[in-house]
Amino acid sequence: MTGSITPRRALLVANPGSRRGTAALSPVESIFAERGIELVPIDTADRETLTDRLCERAAGADLIVAVGGDGTANSVAAATCRTGLPLGLIPAGTANDLARTLGLPLDATEAAHVIAAGRLKTIDLGDVNGTFFFNVASLGLSVKLADKLSGVSKKRWGRLGYLWALLRALAEARPFHAAITGEDGHTILVKTLQIAVGNGRHYGGGMVVEQDANISDGQLDLYSLEFKAVWKLLTIAGSFPAGRHGLNPEVRTLRGRRFEIATRRARPINIDGEVLGTTPAIFTVHPAAIRMIVP
Give pLDDT, residue 234.
72
Give pLDDT, residue 45.
74
Please give the average pLDDT of every successive group of 10 residues along the chain, which has 295 residues.
88 74 78 93 84 94 94 94 96 90 94 95 98 96 68 51 64 86 96 95 88 96 89 76 86 97 96 92 98 96
Q: Options 3.40.50.11240, 3.30.2350.10, 3.40.50.720, 3.40.50.10330; which CATH number does 2-125 get?
A: 3.40.50.10330
Query: Domain ranges in the chain?
Result: 2-125, 131-287
Q: Smallest Cα–Cα separation from 199: which of 209, 184, 186?
A: 209
Give pLDDT, residue 152.
43
Contacts 24+ apart (CB under 8 A), 104-113: 104/294, 104/295, 105/295, 108/20, 108/23, 108/24, 108/27, 108/28, 108/67, 109/27, 109/31, 112/27, 112/28, 112/31, 112/32, 113/31
The topology (CATH level 3) of 131-287 is: Tumour Suppressor Smad4 (2.60.200)
Task: Please list, in sequence order, all residues whose beta carbon lies within 8 angstroms of the beta carbon of residue 223, skipping any fewer than 6 positions away.
Answer: 195, 196, 198, 209, 210, 245, 246, 251, 252, 253, 254
